[in-house]
Amino acid sequence: MAKILDKINKPKDIHKLEISELEKLSSEVRDLIIHTVSERQGHLASNLGVVELTIALHYCFNLEKDHILWDVGHQSYTHKILTGRKEEFKTLREYQGLSGFPNKYENRYDPFTSGHSGSAISSALGLSCGKDILKKKGHSIAVVGDGGIGTGVSLEALNHAGDLKSDLIVVLNDNNISISSTVGAVSKYLNSIRTTKAYSEIRKDINELFQIIPAIGKPLNKTMERTIELVKKNATLGNLFMELGFNYFGPTDGHDFNSLIETINAAKKLKGPILLHTFTEKGKGFEPAFENPTSFHSAGGFDTQNGLSTKEKKRKTSAYTDVFAQTITKHAKENKKIVGITAAMPDGTGLKTFAKKFPERFYDTGICEQHAVSLAGGLSVAGLTPVVAIYSTFLQRGYDQIFHDICLQNNHVVFAIDRAGIVGPDGATHNGCFDITYLRHLPNMTLMAPKDGQELKAMFEFALNMKTPVAIRYPRENITKMNYKNDEIKLGKSEILKEGKDALILAYGSMLSRSIEASKILKKKGLNVGVINSRFAKPLDEKLFLEMIDKYEQVFTVEENSLIGGFGSAVLELISDRQKEDYRVHRMGIPDKFIEHGKRDFILKNLGLDPTGIAKTIEKKLRNN
């Protein structure tokens, strides 16, 4: 039997369909998403929840002149399928394959590359204002989740849009859950709307009342009183958005094509800012994802019949996130001043266990990294020890607060920076390649990176006992066990793990185990290379480093951070400041470009940051000198 999806090769093809055909199309799209993600890791529950909504938007708008912006972007799979990428969809999140997020370099119907929540409304407003100035036609539509609508930048954009009165459509995809449960006052406000009768239901009640209104007397008065109460109740729906200057439509069933299309077509006829509020269900159409959307947020390797994992069970290994989770929980039992803070990621950062054991000392700020950092500053001044656990790529969003509210005040806040370095299939928006660079230049900040789990535990304990800002970065990977005795952690002190005579590697964090392996490869080739576990990017072990640079003719720094402003740059600055001459320092790290998606180990290999690549670079330099 022919599929309707076979007819959809570009956005305008959907306009040829009858509304009655859209239900079948949604089933086919959902089936494609489920089967593709079952074979490759991807964002499943969120995408299954917006199939009908996405189809309705494509059906009602003309993407040759209208622009749809997806906030965060991990819910854009249906959009990709409908915009000429259904054949490529099988390459989802593979190296040089289809990105798991909107990508402006991939397809002209993606106006922005997006991966961080909160920016869509601002960007869509900018597009709208630009169209006004250039006298161009077309709608600008921002699709935002109930988690993203509460971010600071979203609220700033709503405030500005309501003041400008520019044409803008904000579609609020409300499923009552972001990655973990949505938190905050805005979420509670939306929940109050969810638990209130929707407009269509209230209107139905009013119509039924008027059909039975008695002609005269007290019964009529009582009926009118009830009618007025219903109208008042309906008027409160979306009141927050109306106060901001938006025309409010909804709430609408995000899985009902007739309701969606009717509402969207009505909304797009109006001028000024509009908020279309839709209710959707994460995991819709696939029972395991519907029942457990958090587990199926990022999924892969599962049976499409029952949702059970088809991945081979590997020997139990410990990831850095797990070690952090265990360590902070252990210390929090003994130290009542430790407070855990995250920005909508209690599961991903490992703070979920902490939150269960110490709910009175746990704060989930929602997708508000700036607020999370400033909150930590206040807690520190109050006499507590806040630990802020945020992914490297998202901590970038709190940069000004780190400067102003933490480092300038010299407040003791511990930053646990997860997902530092290459994260893999999520690609450029999620790679944590810049945290050393954006933190190292801030006065009062200390930067550390562990070589393994034991060192992470030791560094965390050391950080808790400091009195100034401190950050510990660690990657998204399982821990490689190394049979080295750990020296005591002392401020700015490295440890020599291996002596050599031909060259020296100054390795930082995740690159230490790889550098050790590289030294073994080089030894088989007759080259004796020493390795130092640098531990600190700030302050550097200046005395040891300068001694070693004098001792070795060739020195190599290896890090999983941007070469610009990273650990290697710090070493070069040290040498320059001391006016050392005749030195030869070579840096290895992430080049000055955004790194695309692909498996973590594969990307590191491509960058020459695997043991073989590190050894090859060192051998080439040594052989040429």
User: E strands along 180-295, which residues?
Assistant: 247-253, 273-279
Give the C-alpha separation, 621 to 502, whole Å. 11
Question: DSSP 3-state assignment of 257?
Answer: helix
* 541's tokens: 């072990």
In angstroms, rounded to a whole number, what is the distance separating the alpha carbons of residues 609 and 617?
10
Tell me the CA distances in angstroms from 228 to 112, 201, 306, 373, 597, one per residue in order. 46, 15, 49, 46, 56
Q: Which of 469, 543, 513 is nearest to 609 (CA)?
A: 513
**Cβ contact 316:82 at 8 Å:** no
Asked if residues 509 and 451 have their Cβ atoms less than 8 Å apart, the reply is yes
| Helix ranges, 320-368 (H) | 320-334, 346-349, 352-357
Checking phi first, is residue 326 left (phi over 0); if not, alpha (psi -120 to 50) or beta?
Answer: alpha
Residue 417 phi/psi, 5-degree rounding, is -100, 100
Tokens for 129, please give them.
């204002």
For the chain, the straight-line distance linking the first and the last C-alpha, in angstroms and rounded, comes to 68
Residue 512: strand, helix, or coil: helix
How far apart are alpha carbons 15 and 605 in whole angstroms?
45
**Catalytic site includes residue 93:** no
Question: Is residue 491 classed as helix, strand or coil in its secondary structure?
Answer: coil
Burial class (CB within 10 angstroms; exposed 0-12, middle 13-18, buried 19+) of 102: buried
Tell me how far apart the alpha carbons of residues 36 and 33 are, in angstroms, rounded to a whole number: 5
Does the active-site annotation cover 488?
Answer: no
> Which of 281, 369, 455, 619 is flagged as catalytic?
369
- Consecutive H or E run containing 106: none
Strand 446-448 and strand 536-538: the pairing is antiparallel
Angle 199-211/218-236 helices, nearest 10 degrees?
170
Going by C-alpha positions, the residue among 300, 279, 401 that lies closest to residue 341 is 401
Q: Let me know: does 588 contact 614? Beta carbons within 8 Å.
A: yes
Tokens of 405: 């509210």
Q: In whole angstroms, what is the distance from residue 285 CA to residue 57 CA?
A: 19
Rg (CA), the chain: 28
CA distance 303 to 596: 28
Residue holding tokens 């610009």?
564
Rounded Cα distance, 320 and 452, in Å: 8
Catalytic residue among 30, 85, 93, 282: 282
- Indicate which residue of 80, 284, 361, 397 is catalytic: 397
Q: Is 397 a catalytic residue?
A: yes
The long-range contacts involving 220-223, CB below 8 angstroms and separated by at least 24 positions, are none
Report the amino acid identity of residue 360: E
Alpha carbon separation from 164 to 90, 129, 271, 273 (Å, rounded): 43, 9, 12, 9
Which residues are part of the catalytic machinery? 282, 369, 397
